[in-house]
């Protein structure tokens, strides 16, 4: 897997906490230094590294690990969320009605990636995919693309003898443009010279592409940032594919530099074969990098008996009539690992949360929301988390900007909280539930007005 070196170093950093029971300043500093070295080694830029380590350091000191959670797990979780934050939220792609223009410098992997993305689309969405070879400079480009896609049902259009790339695109779209997805490979150069600029702009106009993907070799490192900016000015890059992550230990440079330009990473290439492509989702990527399996594994890190303790605490909060965003988050976390919660949940009215039969899909959705909500909530003040009703438009705007999500997503979080709060009220009104709760936990104020 890509970035093996970083993985080893990060595990080493966290290992510093092994066997420790208390967080002391010296240990946190040591962790932070080790983390910094790991990131710099993987070519993350100095500013990003500084910000990330400072955040981890601060959160290590300010945030209590949940009872029963080992310090190293706690640190790992913090590093995980901070790395996901750096790499940005995943980029959704519409499955059909797409014309995708692939652009990039010479030799970065455009043609290979064109084939990879075409085949990914076909496999993933079962749609009709066609590619157009519009590189009139690289000899044999058409043959290369045809060979890569041999044995797949992807249609390949090209005119090996034509010198006018725009013309090929125009003819190609006439011929194969009724496919659900059309992907166009273009020529690369050492740098973006005048001729290539004009040609690209011409192709972009002819193609009326819905997506413009920049293909960039991970070896380029942090220079990926300026390259992305240049292409962005020219054709408006909508997504980036970072290739050859398998071939470098320093892929963090390209990944983080690209993420910082606002042209989100949509795929990563991890090998020469057509199937060596992965849709990029920072949370999954980072959890794999840190050896945590998938996200669910991360959330499940706490021992089972702890759930009961948390459940009790949350129940008490619910009965006391307070329900903050943090409570909602805890509740969602528990719902994500509902297996250990059935004692509590069996008391709820049927269908209250759709608990009885939560599908894997629903659980996954919760995990996804959890991640997003966590990032959003990190940009809120304590007061906002405690009193979500103060969240009006200017605060929402600030939070959206701070957490790199849309305002709509922040509003979704608030709407979710509102719904959960109403459910809590209903639960409180349920006599049987209250009686049962009283026998489960010691609630003094159970008869307070609702
Ligand atoms: N290891 C590895 N090799 C890759 C990856 N992507 C592309 N390559 C290799 O990189 C080389 C260049 O790839 P191409 O797809 O021809 O690059 P290009 O950008 O189309 O090159 P030009 O058309 O010459 O500008 C080829 O040998 C590919 O097999 C990857 O993700 N991993
Ligand atoms: Mg090529």
Q: What is the pLDDT of residues 204-221, one digit of tens each?
A: 999 999 999 999 999 999
For residue 189, the ligand 1 atom closest to its alpha carbon is 25
Q: Is 272 in the pocket of ligand 1 (CB under 6 A)?
A: yes
Q: Ligand 2: distance of its center to the CA of 108 in Å?
A: 8
For residue 105, the ligand 1 atom closest to its alpha carbon is 25
Q: Ligand 2: distance of its center to the CA of 186 in Å?
A: 7
d(CA 378, CA 398): 12
pLDDT for 358? 55
Strands 265-269 and 211-217: unpaired
Q: Is the pLDDT of residue 34 over 80?
A: yes
Cβ atoms of 119 and 274 closer than 8 Å:
yes
pLDDT band at 359 (very low <50, low <70, confident <90, very high): low
d(CA 253, CA 40): 9
pLDDT for 427? 66
Q: Write the DSSP string, 381-426.
A: -HHHHH-GGG--HHHHHHHHHHHTS-HHHHHHHHHHHHHHHHHHHH
For residue 188, the ligand 1 atom closest to its alpha carbon is 25
Q: Is 278 in the pocket of ligand 1 (CB under 6 A)?
A: no
Cβ atoms of 28 and 10 closer than 8 Å:
no
**pLDDT tens, position by position, 123-157:** 888 899 999 999 999 999 999 999 999 999 999 99
HSE-up of residue 36 (Cα within 13 Å, Cβ side): 14
Q: Is the pLDDT of residue 351 over 50?
A: no
d(CA 219, CA 217): 5
Q: Is 243 in the pocket of ligand 1 (CB under 6 A)?
A: yes
Beta bridge partners of 185: 102, 133
Give the ligand whose atoms come closest to the C-alpha of residue 267: 1
Compute the mean pLDDT over every residue in the chain, rounded to the nearest whole number: 82
pLDDT for 51? 93
Give the ligand whose atoms come closest to the C-alpha of residue 216: 1
Q: Is 385 in the pocket of ligand 1 (CB under 6 A)?
A: no
pLDDT for 342? 41
Cβ atoms of 44 and 221 closer than 8 Å:
no
Residue nearest to atom 10 of ligand 1 (CA): 109
Instruction: Compare 99 and 189 and report the one with higher pLDDT.
Output: 99
Q: Ligand 1: distance of its center to the CA of 206 in Å?
A: 26
Q: Is 110 in the pocket of ligand 1 (CB under 6 A)?
A: yes
Q: Is 217 in the pocket of ligand 1 (CB under 6 A)?
A: no
Beta bridge partners of 184: 101, 132
d(CA 259, CA 262): 6
pLDDT band at 295 (very low <50, low <70, confident <90, very high): very low
pLDDT for 386? 87
**pLDDT tens, position by position, 300-343:** 333 343 455 566 666 666 666 678 888 888 777 766 654 334 43
pLDDT for 166? 96
CA–CA distances in Å: residue 131 to residues 110, 182, 245: 12, 5, 24
Q: What is the mean pLDDT of residues 346-367?
A: 52
Q: Where are the beta strands (DSSP E) in 258-320?
A: 265-269, 277-279
Instruction: Compare 75 and 295 and report the one with higher pLDDT.
Output: 75
Q: Is 108 in the pocket of ligand 1 (CB under 6 A)?
A: yes
The share of the chain scoring above pLDDT 70, in percent, equals 80
Question: Domains in the chain and their CATH numbers?
Answer: 4-89 (1.20.120.140), 98-280 (3.40.50.300), 304-440 (1.10.260.30)
* Residues whose CB falls within 8 Å of the CB of residue 194, separated by 6 or more in sequence, listed in order: none
Q: Is 138 in the pocket of ligand 1 (CB under 6 A)?
A: yes
**pLDDT tens, position by position, 48-100:** 999 999 999 999 999 888 777 788 888 888 998 899 888 888 788 899 999 99
By the 10 Å C-beta count (0-12 exposed, 13-18 middle, 19+ buried), 229 is classed as middle
The share of the chain scoring above pLDDT 90, in percent, equals 42
**pLDDT tens, position by position, 238-279:** 999 999 998 887 888 899 888 888 788 999 999 999 989 988
Q: Is 271 in the pocket of ligand 1 (CB under 6 A)?
A: yes
Cβ atoms of 232 and 263 closer than 8 Å:
yes
For residue 276, the ligand 1 atom closest to its alpha carbon is 31
* Residues whose CB falls within 8 Å of the CB of residue 114, separated by 6 or more in sequence, listed in order: 102, 131, 145, 183, 184, 185
Least confident of 86-95, 268-277, 422-431, 439-448: 439-448
By the 10 Å C-beta count (0-12 exposed, 13-18 middle, 19+ buried), 74 is classed as buried
Q: Ligand 2: distance of its center to the CA of 1 in Å?
A: 25
């Amino acid at each position: 897997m890509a970035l093996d070196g970083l993985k080893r170093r990060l595990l080493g950093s966290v290992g510093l906490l092994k066997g420790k029971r208390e967080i002391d300043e010296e240990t946190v500093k040591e962790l932070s230094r080790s983390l910094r070295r790991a990131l710099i080694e993987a070519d993350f830029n100095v500013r990003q590294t500084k910000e990330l380590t400072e955040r981890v350091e601060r959160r290590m000191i300010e945030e209590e690990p949940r009872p029963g959670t080992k310090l190293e797990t706690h640190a790992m979780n913090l590093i995980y969320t901070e790395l996901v934050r750096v790499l940005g939220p995943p980029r959704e792609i519409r499955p059909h009605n797409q014309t995708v223009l692939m652009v990039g410098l010479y030799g970065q992997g455009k043609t290979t990636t064109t084939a990879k993305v075409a085949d990914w689309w076909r496999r993933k969405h079962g749609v009709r995919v066609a590619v157009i070879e519009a590189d009139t400079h690289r000899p044999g480009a058409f043959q290369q693309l045809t060979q890569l896609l041999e044995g797949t049902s992807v249609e390949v259009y090209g005119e090996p003898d034509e010198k006018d790339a725009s013309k090929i695109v125009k003819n190609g779209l006439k011929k194969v443009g009724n496919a659900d997805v059309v992907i166009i490979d273009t020529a690369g150069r050492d740098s973006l010279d005048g001729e290539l600029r004009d040609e690209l702009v011409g192709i972009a106009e002819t193609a009326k592409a819905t997506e413009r993907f920049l293909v960039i070799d991970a070896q380029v490192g942090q220079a990926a940032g300026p390259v992305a900016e240049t292409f962005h000015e020219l054709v408006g890059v909508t997504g980036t594919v970072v290739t050859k992550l398998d071939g470098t230990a320093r892929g963090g440079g390209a990944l983080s530099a690209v993420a910082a330009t606002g042209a989100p990473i949509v795929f990563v290439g991890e090998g020469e074969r057509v199937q060596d492509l992965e849709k990029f989702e920072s949370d999954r990527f980072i959890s794999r990098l840190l050896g945590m399996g998938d996200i669910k594994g991360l959330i499940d890190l706490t021992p089972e008996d702890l759930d009961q303790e948390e459940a009790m605490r949350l129940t008490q909060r619910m009965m006391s009539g307070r329900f903050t965003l943090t409570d909602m988050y805890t509740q969602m976390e528990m719902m994500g690992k509902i297996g250990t919660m059935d004692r509590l949940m069996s008391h709820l009215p049927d269908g209250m949360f759709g608990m009885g039969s939560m599908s894997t899909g629903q659980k996954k959705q919760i995990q996804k929301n959890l991640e997003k909500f966590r990032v959003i909530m990190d940009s809120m003040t304590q007061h906002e988390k405690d009193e979500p009703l103060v969240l009006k438009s200017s605060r929402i705007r600030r939070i959206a900007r701070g957490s790199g999500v849309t305002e709509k997503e922040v509003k979704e979080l608030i709407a979710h909280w509102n719904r959960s709060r109403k459910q809590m009220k209903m639960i409180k009104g349920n006599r049987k539930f209250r009686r049962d709760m009283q026998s489960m936990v010691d609630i003094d104020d159970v008869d307070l007005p609702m």
